[in-house]
Structure 1
Amino acid sequence: MNNRTKLKNKLTNFWKLLGPGLVTGASDDDPSGIATYSQAGAAYGLSTLWTALIAFPLMAAIQQMCARIGLVTSHGLTGALKNYYPRPILYLMLLFSFPAIVMNIGADIAGMGAVGNLLFPSVDATYFSVLFTIVLLGLIIYLPYQKIAATLKYLCIVMLVYFIVPFLYKQDFTQILKSTIIPTLKFDKEFMGILVGILGTTISPYLFFWQASIEVEEMNKIKNKKHLIVNKKIIHEINEDVDFGMSFSGFVMYFIILTTGTVLFNGGIHQIDTVEQAAMALKPLAGDLAYFLFAVGIIGTGLIAIPVLSGSLSYIITETFGWEQGLNKKFHEAKAFYSVIGTSLILGLSLNYIGISPIKALIYTAVLYGLTAPILIAIILHISNNKKVMGRFTNSRTSNILGFAALVIMTAAAVALIYLQWATD
């Protein structure tokens, strides 16, 4: 076997290994997240590039814990909350998660529709939003889980466009390196608001629920599941998957800030409120190709993120009430599960028609995520260190250090978020 064949086999095996972690990471960079990163780049140039380095290990540590909880307990995070914690905590998470995820879906659908209109101006953005909603709903309901997982996995390739866009514009690599490794902090309301927004959109509670539940789905699709023995090899493979997915997410985040922080900021455009504004602003400054790739990437990320958002909400609700659930089941086998997904998509779409703008939806979502994330991280840390639940697969010292760092940072972010939203000048 020659070296080329060996390399091909290694890459093929690695691609097969990738699954929930890659999709979770890719869904983190949804259209609403891209809007947040674009705002950061346009307003402050390269000053927030360093946040990608900080966010990656924190994201990876928490998502690894969630994955292990799903694998070891055979329950999603909601099931763990239900079995080991007082019911009021579970219902509080449900109360905050439902509106936050629905508004996130609504903002993403609106962003995809607006970008579709940019690419095809003769078609109104509303029609694109409705079209994307119908297509996603049909695919989620009628495709079996294996095909959904494979489709989402290959859609992640679309996001590689963001690794190309910055290099269509002349870059100062010395300044990029400096901004990447030396943190910049400005203690004013606007800059701290951007930092809180970046943290809130990268370490999002819905990803915690999705990661744990989808690991259970992965187990369920394995034949002779009863013979599956959780061991260090399986845990290692899951950690590799999560690490790759979170690093992929971090790179996309980094390159979006890099793109908008050089092209838009240097071009004198410092106020970006939506993803379509970011795409439009790129066109005259970086050229048609940059504009086209940026826009296509937004639609691709939406197609990945919305099934994850709606799926995580459905897992939360159906596991809370003990209803049949699972993307591996057909509609007639889990009607409530798919009904929740359908309802969340329709409610998200309807937000654009009842006076809640995508920008307001993003703000409300950030507030709700910011309030729930610290509580959930604390619970995840507690479960992951509970030997009665996790057996010999409790957290390592490194996982605990990173987990507690995430808890402290997200708690500080939550306090800052409350202050920024309600403090009077």
Structure 2
Amino acid sequence: SVLVGVLIGNTIEAAADLGAMSAAIVLFVPLPAPLVVIAVAVVIFALQVFGSYKLIRNVFRWLALALLAYVVSAVLAKPDAASVLRGTLLPKIEFSREYLSILVAIIGTTLSAYLYTWQSNQEVEEEIAKGRTSLEERKGATESELRRSRRDILIGMTFSNLIMYFIILSTGSTLYKAGQTQIETAAQAAEALRPLAGDAASILFAVGVIGVGFLAVPIMTAGAAFDFAQAMGWKNSLHAKPRQAPKFYIVIGIITLVAVGLNFFGFNPMKALVWSGVVQGFSTPPLLLLILIMTNNRKIMGDKVNSISTNILGGVTTLAIFAASAGLVASWFL
């Protein structure tokens, strides 16, 4: 069920990102949006299939800088500092269907299942890039490697959550304040920002959407392909050439094709992103529970089992996410 949730969630999210990117690109280049969706998907798929892992890694690293556009956009929106501080430190909590949907969706995009598998898969890819091509060579991890991995994850999660905060800040202090709550595309959000926060904020928001899309779509499609291929016992690696791992790349192609196709059914990308997050959010608690069980098993982890503090933090997090998911389900019937 977790695998199905990942496949559905990743595909919908890839579709929504493709739609959002195309709408944002059309703001700068007057082309038919469907054509842009296809063109962007082809470019991304070609990069995955024909690009080297090092090229893909470097492209991702540079694209991450596009996320800073959201920070600048939020500053240019000139939010009220007192309101921002109050809302940040004393958030308003509601037990409504809409509030819980967004809460679970945020959890789903922050702690979604694909992140864990993507992180572990990329650790393997990095090992291969260092010349450790066999499983025997990659067994185990030194303390310095674990510290590096922990540092990378902490920095990455901190950065991603800060960016999310500034996205909420830039749109909440402008669009929501002006009563514009029926935004169907990221491009509409960017356009709506123009009269409220100026041309620069609007352009930067659109640039951020494009950069995020180019960063997210290949991760969504390849991440789902990694999970499916591993479940089926197929060879999977971005280091592998298509002839070495044909089924892996075929799955990437199928997911990409479905994601493109969804954009021709007139679905709302914004709502699709929310609901894909909800799907991911529902799959998060059971996966976290499985991870906790595995990381406390000495047969699997050896002497690297969880500490008491990690178990407490992981357990509380799992219960909190389960409670949010259960609350959302309950709200559907109340």
Shared fold by TM > 0.5?
yes
The gaps in structure 2 that reach 5 residues or longer are none
Residue 227 of structure 1: CA displacement? 7.8
1:139 paired residue number: 47
SS in 2 for 1:211: helix
Are 1:367 and 1:418, in contact at CA under 8 Å, matched by a contact in 2?
A: no
1:85 paired residue number: none
CA distance in 2, matches of 1:410, 1:97: 17
The gaps in structure 1 that reach 5 residues or longer are 1-91
- 1:338 aligned to 236, 249, 255, which one? 249
1:67 paired residue number: none
- 2:131 aligned to 223, 238, 255, which one? 223
1:417 maps onto 2:328 in alignment? yes
1:173 paired residue number: 81
2:296 paired residue number: 385
Residues 97/281 of structure 1: CA separation in 2 closer, same or farther (3 Å cut): same
Residue 193 of structure 1: CA displacement? 2.7
Percent identical pairs in the alignment equals: 35
1:155 maps onto 2:63 in alignment? yes
Are 1:199 and 1:413, in contact at CA under 8 Å, matched by a contact in 2?
A: no
SS in 2 for 1:332: coil
CA distance in 1, matches of 2:145, 2:4: 34
CA distance in 2, matches of 1:327, 1:349: 22
- 2:6 aligned to 97, 110, 113, which one? 97
Residue 131 of structure 1: CA displacement? 1.0
Residues 118/227 of structure 1: CA separation in 2 closer, same or farther (3 Å cut): closer
1:347 paired residue number: 258
CA distance in 1, matches of 2:178, 2:18: 29
Residues 285/359 of structure 1: CA separation in 2 closer, same or farther (3 Å cut): closer
CA distance in 1, matches of 2:52, 2:14: 22
Residue 357 of structure 1: CA displacement? 4.0
CA distance in 2, matches of 1:187, 1:305: 31
- 1:116 aligned to 2, 25, 29, which one? 25
CA distance in 2, matches of 1:282, 1:358: 18
- The size of the alignment, in residue pairs, is 331
Are 1:263 and 1:285, in contact at CA under 8 Å, matched by a contact in 2?
A: yes
Residues 167/207 of structure 1: CA separation in 2 closer, same or farther (3 Å cut): same
1:254 paired residue number: 165
Runs of 4 or more consecutive aligned structure 1 residues displaced over 3 Å after TM superposition: 354-357, 359-364
CA distance in 2, matches of 1:262, 1:355: 29
SS in 1 for 2:263: helix
CA distance in 2, matches of 1:194, 1:287: 27
**Stretch deviating more after TM superposition (380-389 or 359-368):** 359-368
SS in 1 for 2:181: coil
Q: What is the CA deviation profile of residues 315-368 of structure 1, one whole-angstrom value per residue up to 9, with x for unaligned ones?
A: 111111111110011111111111111111111000122454435533542343
Q: What is the CA deviation profile of residues 139-163 of structure 1, one whole-angstrom value per residue up to 9, with x for unaligned ones?
A: 1111111111111011101111111
Residue 229 of structure 1: CA displacement? 5.5
Root mean square deviation, CA, Å: 1.9
Residue 413 of structure 1: CA displacement? 2.1
CA distance in 2, matches of 1:402, 1:326: 32
Normalising by structure 1, report the TM-score.
Answer: 0.74
Q: How does 1:255-294 map to 2 (within 5 A)?
A: 255-294=166-205
CA distance in 2, matches of 1:360, 1:184: 22
Residues 166/94 of structure 1: CA separation in 2 closer, same or farther (3 Å cut): closer
CA distance in 2, matches of 1:321, 1:200: 25
Normalising by structure 2, report the TM-score.
Answer: 0.93
CA distance in 2, matches of 1:255, 1:361: 21
